[in-house]
Each structure stands twice: as C-alpha cells, then as structure tokens.
C-alpha cells in the first residue's frame, strides 16, 4: 500500500510557492493536494447517503475521483485568489466539497424525468379546520401572486427549485441555461411577489420578508 503524501513540510504560506515550483517540490505538493481533495470528496459523498444509494458504490467512487480532479483544477486556477485569511488546506478542501455535492446531485437526478412544463403552481388553498385564518389568507395571496404576477418561465423555475427541490445545476442543464440565469430569475420572481404582497397589504411597504416566508419567496 502506497503511503499518502505528507503535507507536514508545508505551512500555509508555503503551499502557493510549492505548487508553483518545478521538479520534486511541486510534484510532492500536487500529490499532497490531490490526496487532500480526494479525502474531502469522499467525506462529502458520505454526507449524501440518498444520492450514494441511488448511484451505487462503484459510480460514487468514480465520481469522487472525478470531483477531486475538477476541484484540483479549480484550486490551481485560483491560487491568486487565496488571501491567507484561513488555512490553505481548509480553503482548498471546500472546493472538493462543493464540486462533489454538485456532481453527485447531477448524477443522481440525471435519469429522472423532470416536468418543467407550465404548471398551475399551488392550487387555491381553502382554509381547513387546522389552518389559521391569517395563514390561509396569506397562502391565497401568495398563490394569486404566483398566478397573476409571474411569467410562465418564472412559475416553472419557482416550482422546480422551491417545490420540487430540483438541484439548480440539474435544472440549468435541463433548461439549457446557466446557474446565474436561474438565480436571476429566482431573485426577480421573489421581488415581484414581495411587491404584490405589499400591494395587497400582507407586507408593509419596503419591509423585509416575514420569518418563515423566505421558502415561498
């Protein structure tokens, strides 16, 4: 069994120089960095048992390696952005966590059928015996705003991201768009709903969203 490369010889300030060096010093730093990122990717995969069970052990192992490789590319490309506010290893570790979470989400959702057609999001909620009058009134106001104030695309995005909890990377891929464009759509639709609720008296003018409403808005 091959021993893992040691990082004991590297302090935070040494990592950058070592990764930019030539010869054995750079080789050792690259090997140590990749080992660190594989451990991070493995740890993240263990935090996602549902996705791991869906994909199977062999697929997860492959994705862990691929995610670590992608994370390493990102770290090396962004060395100039490391400002030394924390440990270099902690900074680099996060790249693998984010990359692995995204890769496992995408792989687990890829075979699923995603209905991103026009939806009548939120049926008109009639207040039942267990529903307080104020909550029922607010729910109806939100539902009315969704129907009347949002575009069909905004309704699809809201339903997919908020109700169905589809990972944003997966939705971007299915809609042939980008994460940034979806975040912009989500921001715009929330702003429209806030204005609508202010106009209907459910929120005071220029007020922050009430606690508990952010999930809907």
Nearest to 186 by CA among 213, 159, 148: 159
Q: What letter does residue 120 receive in the DSSP assignment?
A: -
Nearest to 37 by CA among 18, 14, 65: 65
Q: What's the pLDDT score for residue 5?
A: 45
User: Domains along the chain?
Assistant: 12-109 (1.10.1740), 113-217 (1.10.10)
Look at residue 214 and tell me whether its pLDDT is greater than 80. Answer: no
Q: What's the pLDDT score for residue 22?
A: 86
Nearest to 214 by CA among 162, 170, 167: 162
Q: What's the pLDDT score for residue 90?
A: 92
> For residue range 59-69, what is the model confidence (pLDDT) as tens digits?
999 999 999 99
Q: What letter does residue 210 receive in the DSSP assignment?
A: P
Q: State the chain's maximal CA–CA distance in angstroms.
A: 74
Residues 6+ apart with CB under 8 A from 141: 196, 197, 200, 202
Q: What's the pLDDT score for residue 106?
A: 84
**Average pLDDT score over residue span 180-206:** 86
Residues 6+ apart with CB under 8 A from 106: 167, 169, 170, 173
> For residue range 92-141, what is the model confidence (pLDDT) as tens digits?
999 999 999 989 988 888 777 655 555 554 444 444 544 445 566 777 78
Terminal Cα distance for the chain, rounded: 53
**Average pLDDT score over residue span 21-27:** 89
Average pLDDT of the chain, as a whole number:
80
Look at residue 10 and tell me whether its pLDDT is greater than 90. Answer: no
């Amino acid at each position: 069994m091959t021993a893992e490369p040691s990082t004991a010889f590297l302090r935070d300030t040494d990592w950058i120089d070592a990764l930019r060096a030539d010869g054995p010093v750079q080789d050792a730093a690259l090997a140590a960095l990749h080992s660190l990122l594989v451990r991070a990717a493995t740890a993240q995969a263990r935090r996602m048992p549902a996705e791991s069970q869906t994909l199977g052990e062999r697929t997860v192992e492959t994705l862990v390696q691929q995610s670590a490789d992608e994370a390493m590319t990102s770290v090396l490309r962004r060395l100039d952005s490391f400002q030394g506010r924390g440990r270099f290893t902690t900074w680099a570790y996060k790249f693998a966590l984010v990359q692995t979470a995204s890769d496992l989400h995408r792989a687990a959702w890829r075979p699923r059928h995603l209905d991103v057609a026009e939806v009548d999001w939120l049926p008109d909620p009639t207040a039942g015996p267990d529903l307080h009058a104020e909550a029922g009134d607010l729910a109806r106001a939100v539902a009315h705003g969704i129907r009347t104030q949002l575009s069909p695309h905004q309704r699809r995005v809201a339903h997919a991201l908020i109700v169905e909890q589809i990972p944003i990377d997966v939705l971007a891929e299915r809609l042939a768009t980008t994460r940034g464009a979806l975040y912009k759509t989500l921001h715009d639709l929330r702003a429209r709903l806030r204005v609508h609720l202010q106009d209907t008296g459910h929120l005071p003018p220029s007020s922050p969203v009430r606690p508990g409403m952010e999930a809907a808005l």
